[in-house]
Amino acid sequence: MLQVAGIDVAYGHAKVLHDVSLDLEEGKMLFVVGRNGAGKTTLLRTIMGLLRPLKGSIYFDGGDITGLPPEQLYHRGIRYVTQDKKVFGSLTVRENIEIAAYSSGEPLSQALDKVLEIYPKMKDFLNLKAGQLSGGQRQILLIGQAMVGNPRLLLVDEPTQGLAAIVINEIARILKHLKGRLSAVVVEQNLPLVSQLADRVVVLKEGKVTQVLDDASEICNTSLLEKAL
């Protein structure tokens, strides 16, 4: 459902991704792992149309989406949850969800249901300013907002970064719940979580794909993943 085919991406003259390819099948979760600076965020930003590859193409649902603007990709069902966990802090949680409802054209009541489905406790926080949520709750709100409309492909950048173990378990539970309902590319450095959830793991090293793991017994092996980084 998503193919990245041989892309090179640069910031000015500094090339960051070199001939990167990946292939994601419908309903699967692909995890991208790699050290800081490997180019993981750059890859997600390029898929979302925020950066244009110098060469190579990106295909989604069989069509070439290379160079299409992010708004258009949003309306085709691609959602990007960025690494920075940014919500509209001075607006309430409900108002943040309203924005997703408005952007996607989904009625607010359904949008609220989408968020409460993944995290029923959010019901108690709807009138709270989103800035008052904990880091984990913000991350959950952002994932919930991404589920509004009819997402087909979710791109999530380091959802558990900086979160406490108990919250990481909650995020893992939510990702597991979403598994099979849509396709996802998740950047994640928490290897136990990767080995729990991934259908495929792509290792990115200095902007190049150095390994692709498809075999469940390999993916389960966190020390193998650790060695691949």
Which is nearer to Mg ion, 112 or 204 (by Cβ)?
204
**CB neighbour list of residue 152: distance below 8 Å, 6 or more residues apart:** 1, 61, 76, 77, 78, 182, 183
Q: How many CB atoms lie within 10 A of CB 117?
A: 14
Q: Quick one: which of 28, 40, 79, 138 contacts ligand ADP (CB under 6 A)?
A: 40
CA 227, 33, 21, 42 dihedral sign is: negative
Q: Quick one: which of 6, 37, 70, 180 contacts ligand ADP (CB under 6 A)?
A: 37
Distance CA 128, CA 146 (A): 20
In whole angstroms, how close is the CB of 157 to ligand ADP at the nearest point? 7
Q: Could you tell which of Mg ion, ligand ADP, none binds residue 16, using a CB distance below 5 to 8 A set by kind?
A: ligand ADP
In whole angstroms, how close is the CB of 210 to ligand ADP at the nearest point? 13
Interaction between residue 34 and ligand ADP (CB under 6 A): yes
Q: Is 210:20 a contact under the CB 8 Å cutoff?
A: no
Q: Could you tell which of Mg ion, ligand ADP, none binds residue 42, using a CB distance below 5 to 8 A set by kind?
A: ligand ADP
Interaction between residue 190 and Mg ion (CB under 5 A): no
Which is nearer to ligand ADP, 38 or 142 (by Cβ)?
38
Amino acid at 184: A
Site string for Mg ion, 14-53 (x = CB under 5 A): --------------------------xx------------
Q: Quick one: which of 14, 90, 109, 165 contacts ligand ADP (CB under 6 A)?
A: 14
In whole angstroms, how close is the CB of 204 to Mg ion at the nearest point? 10
The DSSP code for 59 is E
Orientation of helix 165-178 relative to helix 135-146, angle to 10°: 10
- Closest alpha carbon to 122 in 131, 112, 132: 112
Distance CA 10, CA 8 (A): 7
Structure tokens at 168: 């990481």
For ligand ADP, the binding residues (CB under 6 A) are: 11, 14, 16, 34, 36-42
Question: Which residues sit at the interface with Mg ion, rule CB under 5 A?
Answer: 40-41
